[in-house]
Amino acid sequence: MDYEFDTLQIDIAGSVLTATINNPPVNVMTTPLYMDLVNFTSQVEQDDRIKVVVFDSADPDFFIAHFDVEAILQFPVDSPAEKSMEMSDFHLMCERVRTMPKATIVKMAGRAGGGGNEFASSCDMRFGLRGKTMINQMEVALGILPGGTGTQRLPRLVGRGRAMEICLGSDDIDAETAEAWGYLNRIFDTREDLDRFVDDLAQRISVWPAKAIALCKTSINNAEMPWEAGLLEEAYLFQQTLRTDGAQQNMRKAMAMGLQTRDGELRMGELCREFGEAD
């Protein structure tokens, strides 16, 4: 499967794919970038070689600035607003990174605003840079509202009150605040530390069985279900993973390499990587 896009640079190392956004001058989500993201997410979702997708930016100051306001001004407004019964293409793109059977990770070393922030917030994990990372939903200041998942995604990530502050305030939220609110998983002092941690995490995840990654992600997403329904789904998905070759092989390798021994249990993180990488 080949990946060729004008605004995305694609690099594949093993089962980890890195998509670097490059749309000068400030990574505005213009129509070409938007269409590249739509097509890329549709393509990578079906690529069984890939277990982890990392989104990065070639611009040190911007992840994605926001959706192109010039394009929004061209949206038709001559007739009354109509309620669609289907999600928009933008919603579907964001849902793909949230639900695809792969881990999706954002290296957010700069600013993410508007639709760029909505896209990033749809991914599984976000990591930032102290003193550099900023998020902003400026839509209400422009007279509109975040229409690309923001009003639904942010309350689930940071809570209703903080989502109101982000969206109604239209102000910059710095890395330290975003981490404290749970929007960012972690923040780092240097770009080198950010890259080192995320690259290691992506590589680590990539050695686990693909089915376990996919079904664990599905089960975590099911946390939005009612409690009992989520637990029933969790038990069902566990039963599915148990029946895979990857589970049977990895559990046996783990036992042979020290699982349930004192030494093995005291260094579980290292042991997981060792049996994950073992042939």
Is residue 27 a contact partner of residue 116, using CB atoms and an 8 Å limit? yes
Entry pTM:
0.96
Does residue 278 have a pLDDT over 90? no
**% residues pLDDT > 90 (the chain):** 98
pLDDT in tens, 198-240: 999 999 999 999 999 999 999 999 999 999 999 999 999 999 9
pLDDT value of residue 279 = 74
β-strand partners of 239? none
Q: What is the mean pLDDT of the chain?
A: 97
Torsion (CA) 255, 50, 223, 252 in degrees, nearest 10: -10
Cα(243)–Cα(251) distance, integer angstroms: 12
Averaged over 1-21, what is the pLDDT?
A: 97
pLDDT value of residue 1 = 81
Cα(96)–Cα(108) distance, integer angstroms: 19
Query: Sheet holding 125-129: strands in order across?
Result: 8-13, 16-21, 52-57, 103-108, 125-129, 186-188
Query: How far, rounded to the nearest angstrom, does the alpha carbon of residue 247 sit from its chain's CA centroid?
Result: 25
Residue type, 171: D
Confidence of residue 56 (pLDDT cuts 50, 70, 90): very high
pLDDT in tens, 33-44: 999 999 999 999
pLDDT in tens, 80-118: 999 999 999 999 999 999 999 999 999 999 999 999 999
Does residue 167 have a pLDDT over 80? yes
